[in-house]
Structure 1
Amino acid sequence: MNLREFIIDNIYENLRLDLFLSKVFEDKSRSYLQKIIEDKNVLVNDKVKKSNYKLKRNDKVTVDIPELEELIVEPENIDLDILYEDSDVIVINKHQGMVVHPAPGNYSGTLVNALLYHCKDLSGINGVIRPGIVHRIDKDTSGILVIAKNDNSHRKLAEQLKEHSMKREYIALVEGVIKEDKGTVDKPIGRHPKERIKMAIVDGGRRAVTHYEVIERFEKNTLIKCILETGRTHQIRVHMAYIGHPLVGDPVYGYKKQKFNLEGQMLHAKKLGFIHPSKGEYIEFESEIPDYFHQVLKKLSK
């Protein structure tokens, strides 16, 4: 364990515990810090507190950062659908079912394993588990991702994500018929208070904005285009479920009874646009929806 102790002064007074930790441990994600709070590795005045605890002046905050296991991620000869590649970036069309990076219990068969085999140089900003990974899409979401091949590219792409200037457009099939032609969901997303595998609309969550537009209406479903203004975990899935139109096939936020034999939610990252990190020019990529998506739409059209 890596033990650290802090005494709260007036600068951090009334700040949430998890926000305070994110300021003093800048290299750690907020979700990771919330997890170690939940795991009772963080004490305030020698007592366990929740992430939303508001700090008081002279509070003593004790933090035990667990030692990370040394992990070796092996390169694997896995086919990649590469849309574009140069010395700075690789743009990949990820198929449904592929995990982006290794995680506990899932250290092989990921996009990162395939990337390590394909190229020698990847950005090291996110460490050995997530080399080059600037942004992610869920395992059962297909579509376009950009990967950084060096740290300079990674920083510039991450800045575009932070400023919401990277264009990310998705195609989704949802349950029910959406009446309005377009709309926006602006609701904060955070970890579900009771079910850790789920995200939810929660007070104090991170701001999340999804714009959607109807492409086609069917008898009991709607095909929509979604444009992300922010990029929170499960954002489109949570927002569409919130307005009463969960994604078809979504095993977490969707209907329990599924009418199609699907491996996961019908969501495809169709379009990605960004300023090239070294050329300074805007480039945009588009991929067709996969076959399984086409087959479902064909059935609905009949």
Structure 2
Amino acid sequence: MKFTITLPANSPTKTVKELLEEDWLVPRKVRHFIRTRKGILVNGKICHFQEQVRGNDEITLVIEDNDYPTRAIQLGNKKLITVLYEDEHLIIVNKPAGMKTHPNQPDETDTLLNHLAAYLSPDNQPHVVHRLDKETSGAILFAKNQFILPILGRMLEKKEIYRRYQAIVHGQLTKDLTINKKIGRDRHDRRKRRIDLKTGKSAITHVSIAQPLGKNTAIYCRLDTGRTHQIRVHLASLGHPLVGDPLYSKDSNSRLMLHAYELHLIQPFTKKKIAVSALPGLW
């Protein structure tokens, strides 16, 4: 596999080693493979790791199949994929409600990852960057290769990937608020999470009111953290569980009213802004 990336014009001058190690997070073993086989070119010429690169330089990186560990993904149905954005390195798709993000068993074929593997070419198998609950719909980001995967993971950890959710909760919420309550596992039900102020993990959810919907309220949620069931647990802890939540409200009259509506990020190689909306939303 060969990648050619033109550094943005305002890129600072640095060595090839610094670019691969600090900016692109290429693992040490893979850097060794690239160096020994002279698998990196700058402006079409083979270069050494101590040579400098700068803005507008064209970097070509040759990645062999065995540089990164591979795993087989059973192919699903590519017709079930709705693409919101795609380039050489990443793809954002609109996940339907009721579909798992990825398989838990090697023989599963009906998850979003399976369907995406069928949509992509064999050279661009998908890798999970973040997850959505099975019941949750909306925008979800995947890496198309293991080269960009750790970069996207770092962006997610540093809160450089913006995600905004739509939700509908039971009852009347009348003002914007921030929920800052630690979340831990429920010892009585392995499927669930609960508020655990002593031993739970930090969890922060920002809630803004969209509009009243009869006895319910439409809201937007933005996360500072990404704990399992975070929005669901936080809103339920206020006495306003999500409509349709089978775990935290015992409400089975509709699907779970939670939708990953917007996803924004800066493409790590081109530095262009990517902003998508997963339509239609909940209202």
Map of 1:64 onto structure 2: none
Map of 2:267 onto structure 1: 276
Map of 1:148 onto structure 2: 143
2:181 maps to amino acid: K
Map of 2:183 onto structure 1: 189
> Which digits, 9 at most, give the CA deviation of each residue in 1:214-240, with x for residues without a partner?
110133110000011111111100100
* 1:285 paired to 2:276: yes
Task: Say whether the 8 Å CA contact 2:83–2:93 is kept in structure 1.
Answer: yes
Task: Say whether the 8 Å CA contact 1:132–1:147 is kept in structure 2.
Answer: yes
* 1:88 paired to 2:89: yes
Aligned pair in 2 of structure 1 residues 97, 257: CA closer, same or farther (>3 Å)? Answer: closer
CA distance in 2, matches of 1:189, 1:133: 23
Map of 2:152 onto structure 1: 157
Residue 152 of structure 1 aligns to a residue whose secondary structure is coil
Map of 2:133 onto structure 1: 138
Map of 1:121 onto structure 2: 123
CA distance in 1, matches of 2:143, 2:251: 40
Task: Say whether the 8 Å CA contact 1:78–1:109 is kept in structure 2.
Answer: no
Task: Say whether the 8 Å CA contact 2:73–2:106 is kept in structure 1.
Answer: no
Stretch moving more, 72-81 or 111-120: 72-81
Q: Which runs of 4+ in 1 moved over 6 A?
A: none
Using the size of structure 2 for normalisation, the TM-score is 0.70
Consecutive unaligned residues of structure 2, counting only runs of 5 or more, are 1-70
Give the one of 159, 162, 168 matched to 1:167. Answer: 162
Q: Using the TM superposition, give the Cα deviation of residue 104 of structure 1 relative to its aligned residue in structure 2, in angstroms.
A: 4.1
CA distance in 2, matches of 1:121, 1:245: 45
1:240-255 equivalences under 5 Å are 240-254=235-249
Give the one of 209, 217, 221 matched to 2:212. Answer: 217
CA distance in 2, matches of 1:257, 1:285: 30
Residue 169 of structure 1 aligns to a residue whose secondary structure is strand
Q: Using the TM superposition, give the Cα deviation of residue 165 of structure 1 relative to its aligned residue in structure 2, in angstroms.
A: 2.0
Task: Say whether the 8 Å CA contact 1:172–1:247 is kept in structure 2.
Answer: yes
Task: Say whether the 8 Å CA contact 1:134–1:158 is kept in structure 2.
Answer: yes
CA distance in 2, matches of 1:72, 1:87: 21
CA distance in 2, matches of 1:175, 1:253: 11
Map of 1:10 onto structure 2: none
Q: Using the TM superposition, give the Cα deviation of residue 190 of structure 1 relative to its aligned residue in structure 2, in angstroms.
A: 1.5
* 1:111 paired to 2:112: yes
The alignment-based identity, stated in percent, is 40
Residue 232 of structure 1 aligns to a residue whose secondary structure is coil
Map of 1:54 onto structure 2: none
Map of 2:229 onto structure 1: 234
Map of 1:45 onto structure 2: none
* 1:201 paired to 2:199: no
CA distance in 1, matches of 2:256, 2:116: 25
CA distance in 1, matches of 2:124, 2:179: 35
CA distance in 1, matches of 2:222, 2:263: 10
CA RMSD in angstroms, aligned pairs only: 1.8
Residue 91 of structure 1 aligns to a residue whose secondary structure is strand
Consecutive unaligned residues of structure 1, counting only runs of 5 or more, are 1-70, 124-130, 295-302
> Which digits, 9 at most, give the CA deviation of each residue in 1:249-279, with x for residues without a partner?
000011x355xx42x3100000001121221
Task: Say whether the 8 Å CA contact 1:237–1:247 is kept in structure 2.
Answer: yes
Using the size of structure 1 for normalisation, the TM-score is 0.66
Aligned pair in 2 of structure 1 residues 152, 104: CA closer, same or farther (>3 Å)? Answer: closer
Q: How many residues align?
A: 210
CA distance in 1, matches of 2:232, 2:105: 23
CA distance in 1, matches of 2:235, 2:258: 12
